[in-house]
Amino acid sequence: MSNVISAPDIERITNLRVTNPAAVRAALRDRVRAGGIPADGKMMLIAADHPARGAMSVGSDPSAMADRASLLGRIVIALAQPGVDGILGQPDILEDLAVLGALDGKLVFGTMNRGGIVGANWELDDRMTAYDAAHTASMNLDGAKMLLRIEDTDPGVARTIESCAQAVTELADRDLIAMLEPLPYEITADGKAKLIKDDAKLLRATAIAAGMGATSAYTWLKLPAWSDIAAAAAVSTLPVLILGGDPGANWDAAFADWTRALEQPTVRGLVIGRALLFPPDGDVASAVQRAAALVRPGGAS
- What pLDDT is recorded for position 51? 94
% of the chain residues with pLDDT over 90: 88
DSSP, collapsed to helix, strand or coil, labels residue 130 as coil
Region of 143 please: left (phi>0), alpha (psi -120 to 50) or beta.
Answer: left
Question: Is it the case that residue 6 has pLDDT exceeding 70?
Answer: yes
Residues paired with 43 in a beta bridge:
269
pTM: 0.96
Q: Give CA–CA dist 142/106, Å, rounded.
A: 10
Domain that holds residue 32: 7-295
pLDDT of the residue at 4: 82
Cβ atoms of residues 142 and 34 within 8 Å = yes
The rounded percent of the chain whose pLDDT value lies above 70 is 98
Q: What is the pLDDT of residues 77-104, one digit of tens each?
A: 999 999 999 999 999 999 999 999 999 9
Task: Specify which residues 73 forms β-bridges with.
Answer: none
How much is the pLDDT for 139?
98
In a domain, 127, yes or no: yes
37 assigned to some structural domain = yes
Q: Is residue 210 part of a domain?
A: yes
pLDDT (tens digit per residue) in 254-271: 999 999 999 999 999 999
pLDDT of the residue at 1: 59
Nearest to 13 by CA among 32, 28, 1, 3: 28
Of the candidates 10, 2, 113, 118, the residue with the CA atom closest to the CA atom of residue 62: 118
Residue 254 lies inside a defined structural domain of this protein: yes
Please state the rounded mean pLDDT for residues 40-65.
92
Cβ neighbours for 201, distance < 8 A, ≥ 6 positions apart = 150, 184
The answer to whether position 1 is within a domain reads: no
* Integer angstrom CA distances of residue 181 from 23, 84, 219, 241: 32, 20, 11, 9
Sorting pLDDT into bands at 50, 70 and 90, what band is 184?
very high
Q: Decide if 300 is inside a domain.
A: no
pLDDT at residue 39 above 80? yes
Number of domains in the chain: 1
* CATH code at position 237: 3.20.20.70
> First CA to last CA across the chain, in angstroms?
27
pLDDT digits (tens, 9 = 90+) for 191-209: 999 999 999 999 999 999 9
Neighbours of 281 (CB within 10 A): 8
Question: What is the pLDDT averaged over residues 29-57?
Answer: 95
CB 141 within 8 A of CB 93: no
**Is residue 301 in some structural domain?**
no
Determine the residue type at 68. Answer: R
284 — phi, psi (to 5°)? -65, -45
The span from the CA of 223 to the CA of 240, in Å, is 7
Q: Are 157 and 151 in contact (CB under 8 A)?
A: yes
Give CA angle at 57 (51, 58), nearest 5°. 120
Domain assignment present for 145: yes
| pLDDT surpasses 60 at 300 | no
φ/ψ of 118, rounded to 5, equals -55, 125
pLDDT exceeds 90 at position 161: yes
